[in-house]
Structure 1
Amino acid sequence: MSLSFLQLVLVSGALQGFCLAVLLFTRPVNRLANRLLGAVMVLMSLQTILVSFDNREFFMRFPHLSHVGWLLPSLFGPLLFLFTQKLISERPRWQRTDWLHFAPFVLLLLYLMPYYLQSAEAKRAYLSDFAQSVQDDFGPVNSLLNVLHIVYISAAVYGLRRHERRVLNEYSEVQQLRLRWLQQFLSLVLVLLVSSVLIFYARKWNIPGLGGLYRYHYLGVIVLIYWIGYKALSQPVLFNQKPVGPATKQDKLLPVVPEPIADDLSTETAEKYKKSALPDELSDRYQARLLAYMDEEKPYRNQTLTIHELAEALNISRHHLSQVLNDRLGRNFYDFVNEYRVAEVKRLLTDPQYSHYTTLGIAEEAGFNSKATFNAVFKKMTGQTPSEYVGKAAKPV
């Protein structure tokens, strides 16, 4: 059986997907989200191979693979949704309720089980009328799967939108990178989904032109696989960094500021103010402690700094620290930390000890993790690009 150019491209991309899945499965950190994405890569690769060989000759030789392409897509939506949820979660753990998302897969498996249990001869008899079997591929089962995809991808996008504001208030740069990557990823998935649904119904209703693109639209899946692979290599922090969240005893990255007993409230009083405005006196103390700590310890140089880690280092609850930032300083956590980083970049640019550093090297020393983020933040806060600022600073007065 000779392979067409399209089949070669699809199979090659699918093999790349399997390799990427192995990479994701073996990451030692951020395991749950990486493994869920790895499972998506495996399923997409298997489905791509089945679509690339979607012809009578192939299925007559391997009849037990027929209708497998009906079952695999029932896992796409749930896995993508769970991947999104675990990636943006503070404490990504598998919950018992997560198994409920696989109910469509179980129900469809039970529905298809009578066919799967048939003998090879019985399946070949059915496939002998291949035109009818192809027509069945565009029947109610796969129409319902399209609805399932739309529901789950929409839920993933909605969850991401809700997460965006929390990122600004609680996380520093790495989580911002993840947020942008996830936005791009879900946008690509959404484009693929919309095009797939349009081509599905165009083929179902024999609409000329668009219906002829069936199988070719899986080239988009290959693009998605290679794009994820590129991101894994160019920005490994997206996949290798520990999930951000409350620091554990083993994860403490910052020295703890000693806190005199007189500076804090009693446990009972702290609980009283946990969900209300801080008293002015305590808010003043927290603000002074925060600003002194930022100046003396320079925690913003930690590229993965989170509000949870900073609050723990200050012996202040995350809730109270967030109140100080928002109410007293008028900043979200992301902007507050990046203001210090930009100021540190300016200082280091004039420090002779760093004269041999590139601008990007200095940005990394100051706590920035990404060139794109550094350029955008620096331009937003100074009105100049880093290169423009360096050029003006170098001119003699």
Structure 2
Amino acid sequence: MQTLPIQLDLFALTIFLGVAQAVFLGIFFLTGERGRSVASRCMGFLMLALSAVIGEMFLCYSNYMFRVLPIVDFSEPLNFVMGPLFFLFVFVRIRGRLPKQWGWHFLPAALWLVNAISWLYQPVAVKYNNYLHAYHPELPFISEPPHYLAEDFFCLRNYIDELTTASCLIYNVIALVIIYRAYRQAGRTFWQNSPAQLVQLRNQSLLFLILPALIVVIKPQFYEDLGDYLLACYLTLIIYITSIRVMTGSSYFSDETKPQPVIPETGVELKRKYEKSALSEEVEDAVLGKLTRLLETEKPYLDSALSLPKLAALLNTSPHHLSQLLNDRLGQTFFDWLATYRIAEAQQLLNEPTTAHLKIDEIAERVGYNSPSAFHTAFKRLTNQTPAQYRQKVGSARSRPTSSRSA
């Protein structure tokens, strides 16, 4: 078998960095407290699937595949995992749970995996010729021994590009429809830059939507798989954009310090703290009215990235004035105010029969807590009981039969 020297250029380096970063993100989303979140698990497995897909593209483009011929096309079944995983990520982020019978979304991937057995079990000479056919048609083929199995059980391997395009397109469109409906429920238009969570999901969905369009444009321009390196570079771009969003959403570089449990000040003491402020009652009333309307239409406290400056920006005021308003008129610090609304929302979810199936950690994520331990601490502080105790108490009250008094 004739081989070619390793080809390492800018494209190869870009793709390799994408593989490494996708593996890192996959591990990041699947470990620690994040790994308990269903949405994080969906994103983590999506990143690992992307790392395998573009990893195979790297091996083929750089000619490393000559050295590992037995694993040619090992990532094909994962082509049908990317769309479902991204759709499930969006669904969970918006609805707080997985859809019913979500496992059926992975049926095409399972069927393709069965079909791949017939391919992966072929002699190395067969795989060598197929690799040449796709990436190096200029090299001479070699004679092949008899095949061990039928090479393609379902006779669909010639349509892998079309089926991958259809899968990615369908699931991205469904994800965008869910996001669009969430915007409408929030009383916003699809292109508005709030709420923050929907903006991030919308932008991420549009990035993934470009992928099937690129497949349609690139594939006809190249013989067999020679254009895959361009698709791999675009997937690498998506991976690094995701990394940037993860970093910008982190509190690592934030100047805000985590509030320490202290004895709360009284309303009078809080008011004295700001009694020299020039903020008038009229301005306070206007901002308070905006805050009330915002709470009714958007529920910004459900955004895990909400901070005092972000809330102030939504209300067109300064963080200092907003902090003064919360202290003067509501007798609360920002963090106390935030916890009050989040725990009230959690109590409602724990009370509702329609959300009784949600796990405590899922409820924590749904009401804006990235850390289940922080949620448990806040819940216990405000209700004097843990979420599990509260749910058990509510369940007992709901199941207790009502008695009627006889006259």
**TM-score scaled by length of structure 2:** 0.54
Asked if residue 102 in structure 1 is aligned to residue 106 in structure 2, the reply is: yes
When residues 95 and 56 of structure 1 are mapped into structure 2, their CA distance, relative to the original with a 3 A threshold, is: same
Tell me the secondary structure at the aligned position of residue 67 of structure 1: coil
1:113 maps onto 2:117 in alignment: yes
Letter in 2 for 1:226: Y
User: What residue number does 1:14 align with?
Assistant: 19
Once the two structures are superposed, residues 175-220 of structure 1 have per-residue CA deviations (whole angstroms, 9 ceiling, x without a partner) of: 922111111111111123312321123325x9xxxx9754124222
Query: CA–CA distance in 1 between the matches of 2:41 and 2:295?
Result: 39
Gaps in structure 1 of 5+ consecutive residues: 170-174, 238-293, 302-324, 355-361, 368-397
Unaligned runs of 5+ in 2: 1-5, 139-154, 189-193, 252-283, 302-310, 339-407
Amino acid at match of 1:5: L
Change (3 A) 1:186 1:120: same
State the 1:4 CA deviation: 2.1
- How far did residue 335 of structure 1 move? 8.8
Cα distance in 1 between the residues matched to 2:322 and 2:131? 71
1:226 pairs with 2:232: no
* Paired residue secondary structure (1:47): helix
Say if 1:85 and 1:156, in contact at 8 Å, map to a contact too: yes
* Residue identity opposite 1:104 in structure 2: P
Letter aligned with residue 229 of structure 2: R
- Equivalent residue in structure 2 for 1:193, among 199, 202, 212: 212
5 Å-filtered alignment, 1:35-54, equals 35-54=41-60
Letter paired with 1:146 = T
Q: Deviations over 1:43-95 (max 9, x none)?
A: 112211211222594333212221224222111111111111111113x2x46
Residues 62 and 182 from structure 1, CA distance in 2 versus in 1: closer, same or farther, beyond 3 angstroms?
same
Provide the C-alpha distance between the structure 1 equivalents of 2:239 and 2:295, rounded to a whole number of angstroms: 42
Which of 26, 30, 38 is residue 31 of structure 2 equivalent to?
26
Q: Distance in 1 between matches of 2:106 and 2:87?
A: 11
Alignment pair present for 1:76 and 2:95: no
In structure 2, relative to structure 1, the CA distance for the partners of 1:52 and 1:345 (3 Å cut) is closer
Match of 1:150 in 2: 169
2:26–2:44 Cα contact (<8 Å) kept: yes
Distance 2:81 2:89 in 1: 12
The answer on whether the counterparts of 1:32 and 1:86 sit within 8 Å (CA) in structure 2 is: yes
Q: Are residues 20 and 127 of structure 1, via their aligned partners in 2, closer, same or farther at CA, if it must alter by over 3 Å?
A: closer
Give the Cα separation in 1 of the matches to 2:243 and 2:161. 29
Distance 1:163 1:103, change over 3 A: same
CA–CA separation in structure 2 for the residues paired with 1:33 and 1:77:
14
Between the aligned partners of 1:185 and 1:111, the Cα distance in structure 2 is 31
Q: 1:344 to 1:53 in 2, by over 3 A?
A: closer
Higher relative contact order (CA 8 A, sep 6+): 1
For 2:52 and 2:211, the matched residues in 1 are separated by 17
> RMSD of aligned C-alpha atoms?
4.5
The normalised TM-score by structure 1 is 0.55
CA contact (8 A) 1:146 1:197 kept: yes
CA distance in 1 between counterparts of 2:204 and 2:314 reads 31
Residues 360-371 of structure 1: pairs in structure 2 closer than 5 A:
none
* Corresponding residue number in structure 2 for 1:256: none
Q: Structure 1 counterpart of 2:14, which letter? A: V
